[in-house]
Chains A and B, each alone.
Chain A
């Protein structure tokens, strides 16, 4: 590893954190000026991340630990930056996306009086995100993990005054959600997962005595075996652990916070809730995956409980793929459609990582295609979200059916969105296709045919929803008439420019540029997809075998390289799936030959399905009822009947008991001399008797 790589990763995440304080101090500056230090620091972070790339070619990893603080029992927590292929790849994609979205934000928050808060939280987020990727131990990782969660909370609830225009949900007869509530929901759902994750980290520490990832790998054969000696404990560790990533990455059963998180500003949705933070779960799963793999496949005897880790992730991922893909088919809010597809795409990554541990031959395939999909998805989804931000601004509506954008004047946005959409749907030869093929392949190789079927059938749903959204946005039937003029420019500016075909020029270049770069990068990734995928695969192969020392060669049966026919069949079937999904969507939403409303009216079953999907399978409603509703319902009984009763019994009951006793006693305190003499005599006699008897005995 390169010698300088010990300082650079530190600067990489410290710079944005330091820069986050600057906008807060710049009182009176314009929103743009406040953003400049943040953009600059993010740029530097990106450069620093790029400087780590050469290390990718070298073997091994670099992790210089420094003492941080001591723990009881002689242990201590160190701190250091772990630079290995996994962190280098992800830190690069994250830093790059952060920079582009920051550039976009400069225009987005222009004129916002509370932009200081925006830049503070965004910059802090970037720092936290990079920290969580580069951290070399669980504690530092968890700090970054919580920091990004907190920034996510602050940015979802950015419009904390809950003005009407920032509500999401609806339209009218349907319920709306307010930003501040959405922020709280995201915080609490992810915190629930975090608590479980922390419990798991603590148990792992008790057995392993370290938080450091590399030390955990190196000693895993001893401590995992010790955990497994207590029956059920390893399963508990697995389940507690996965709850954290699943909640953070909005996977079943924790997926419901992400759609509501769209209440935040669009760059926030693009950065945090599509491209980076929600991938943190994928990252940490990929990080610890070799440990659990080793526990089952390498160790003797095999610790079958370790497989729970992989099954939990794979099944949750597969369920989420279906949930997300189906809900994206009916959603009307543009950002929600994208959010559902994010959930679904992360489901693919989780599925991929999950199946990678279910058979030794699928380990590298699953790991690499999960990470590869993470890269591709980060790029195209960020492009889509940034375009969505432009579309929402231009049309002034969050609903796709009300946007009525002109495909002529918004041509560039349309092109970018089509590129992003096709990559999202996994249409060949776009970038999403290559990584999705890898994921499907690893499902097959691990022998998980049900999961494979789910993953491959979901392609139909995804392409349908992509074409539906694009069709509803740009091909609104009334060909050309009634497109909406951009609302970006101030009224005077708009008038001077007029409502013509040059309207796209009103979309600020600073906003269009990042979209263009991302779209171009999507195209680039598409072109080099097979090659890039192959080299990532090789990197991970070398990493797992040489650095971590997994004896993969002895585990994987050396069968003839018959991969080509299978992958060919896979590709053909994917194309067929895409055609199946694309055709009806194209007929309905682009050509308007079929009418969706008529179809819906004619088939009761379709109506029922539509209702189910529109209501998000009632999962949100049930969770609301159970967790929020019941908690709220318990408030009054607790306050009144439990606390009130205890309070009355002790704070009122005991004093009044004493009062009653004193009143009773007072009755015999008559003050009459003759009565008192009787008391006196009685007492004396009693004392005498006692003395006598005591003496006798």
Chain B
């Protein structure tokens, strides 16, 4: 397939005007057009992944982007590290665009009190940018590309938030944009510093950074940019707002946007400049564990179902950070694997929250209970999502989590007492995940049914089937982790 990666990245972008035009006629049914386009790119990626899995060489496409000032290669590289991440991100986008049909309609009616084809067209054309942005980040070969695609993601985020979000949506949209922009700016600053030292923006040229005078500063700035987006403790204050007030149909994508920084850390730091990254290892591990524990307690403190899963993202992405910060092959493999698994699980959980809000009209869990009787499939999905997050087999959470913790414990045992206690604290923090995922299951779905939910029905198939597909993918990976591990392992052969 010629220009396969270029197609996968740019096709959604190019199709935006088409979707916008069609959307004005088709209304929400244009979701199926978006879905079809994403399904096509999914097939492209899946076939690439299948070939790679069977031993063919990674696909690299380069496009020159040169002018008088600088020579920049606009490249896409689909290797074992980027392909699984890209495929899962695209898959979630695909599932959620179908999920959106009902949900967005409900949002438009709730906010604007009318049918609106143009708003549908607006939403679905913007939604394509998520796919472009996420795939672009995954496949990027230079730091400028990363920056561009990171910022591309801010565009749909801002507009979708502003138009379709919840109560304080205008304020939160601005907040989301600003935080994203600050993170991007820090990253760009770091990249430029790196360029000043190595004379190249290529990620593969980063090893030359080691030993240069500004190396530490460059790495620190890039890392800070990512940590802001990763919502580690202290930088997390934007996340509960942004994730909770978004329409639930894109919340799953949001979890990937947050988590993909972990992929970038793996790609840029662990792969290319491990010797610099090791300097940050212990502080980052401590920071990650603090975030995990704080994120867990913050999640437990929520009564709002949307805010609940928003807060859990804080802790969950910190797991991956902990794995990466252990600077070991196991830790890094497990961390990226865990991010993939979490993307699936969180997409399911956020969407379940969306379904519950859509069907009951309530966001407060204190006003819920006994819904399992009315929505058995949704309740099952919620338990499945909780299982993925709590690393309960046979879903993907389990292999990813233990592989990651092997790396974390390796670091802990070789390192100081502090590192070992961080490892032990970290694994016990995973216990809190079960608490904050299964307790809400009980609060929402178990107990006596409420009289005011007498008319609540099971969610429509367009909402359930995409989520069931995601659950099936997670199950498949969980039963046969080789699908992911065979691809990820070669990416980290260089480190101990």
Contact = CB atoms under 8 A, between A and B. Distances in A.
A69 B390 contact: no
Nearest to A187: B438
A643 B298 contact: yes
Interface stretch (B104-112, B243-251, B352-360, B478-486): B478-486
Contacts of A646: 234, 237
Interface in A87-104: none
A195 B480 contact: no
A257 B410 CA distance: 33
Nearest to A72: B329
Interface in B309-353: 328-330, 333
B448 A161 contact: yes
The B interface, classified by DSSP as helix, strand, loop or mixed, is helix
A8 interface: no
A646 B294 CA distance: 13
A146 B482 contact: no
Most chain A CB atoms below 10 A, which of B373, B393, B428, B430: B393
Given A71-B485, A150-B387, A161 B373 contact: yes
Contact of B330 (A71, A150, A195, A639): A71
B32 interface: no
Interface string B199-241: 0000000000000000000000000000000000010011011
B431 interface: yes
B237 A651 contact: yes
Contacts of A191: 390, 431, 434
Given A72-B489, A181-B442, A188 B175 contact: no
Interface in A640-680: 643, 646-647, 650-651
A195 B302 contact: no
B102 to A, nearest CB: 24
A639 B399 contact: no
Interface string A163-197: 10000000000000010110110011001100110
Contacts of B481: 68-69
A591 interface: no
A631 interface: yes
Interface stretch (B58-66, B70-78, B276-284, B401-409): B401-409
A157 interface: yes
A73 interface: yes
B410 A206 contact: yes
A618 B419 CA distance: 37
B447 interface: yes
Given A191-B390, A643-B298, A199 B405 contact: yes
A606 B409 CA distance: 51
Contacts of A647: 237, 240-241
Contacts of A199: 405, 409, 424, 427-428
Interface in A128-163: 139, 142-143, 146-147, 149-150, 153, 157, 160-163
B362 interface: no
Interface in A62-87: 68-73
Interface string B378-399: 0000000001001011100011
A163 B392 CA distance: 29
A205 B333 CA distance: 17
A636 interface: yes
B297 interface: yes
B184 to A, nearest CB: 18
Nearest to A233: B413
Contact of B442 (A143, A150, A184, A201): A184
Contacts of A187: 434, 438
B427 A635 contact: no
Interface in B450-489: 480-482, 485-486, 489
Contacts of B434: 187-188, 191
A162 B442 CA distance: 11
Given A70-B486, A199-B428, 4 more contacts: A72-B329, A142-B393, A162-B448, A643-B298
28 contacts: A68-B482, A71-B403, A142-B398, A143-B398, A146-B398, A157-B442, A160-B445, A160-B446, A161-B370, A161-B448, A161-B449, A180-B442, A181-B442, A183-B442, A184-B438, A188-B435, A188-B438, A195-B428, A195-B431, A199-B424, A199-B428, A205-B406, A631-B297, A638-B300, A638-B301, A643-B298, A646-B237, A651-B238
Interface of B: 175, 234, 237-238, 240-241, 297-298, 300-302, 328-330, 333, 370, 372-373, 387, 390, 392-394, 398-399, 402-403, 405-407, 409-410, 413, 424, 427-428, 430-431, 434-435, 438-439, 442, 445-449, 480-482, 485-486, 489, 492-493
Interface of A: 68-73, 139, 142-143, 146-147, 149-150, 153, 157, 160-163, 178, 180-181, 183-184, 187-188, 191-192, 195-196, 198-199, 201-203, 205-206, 230, 233, 631, 634-636, 638-639, 643, 646-647, 650-651
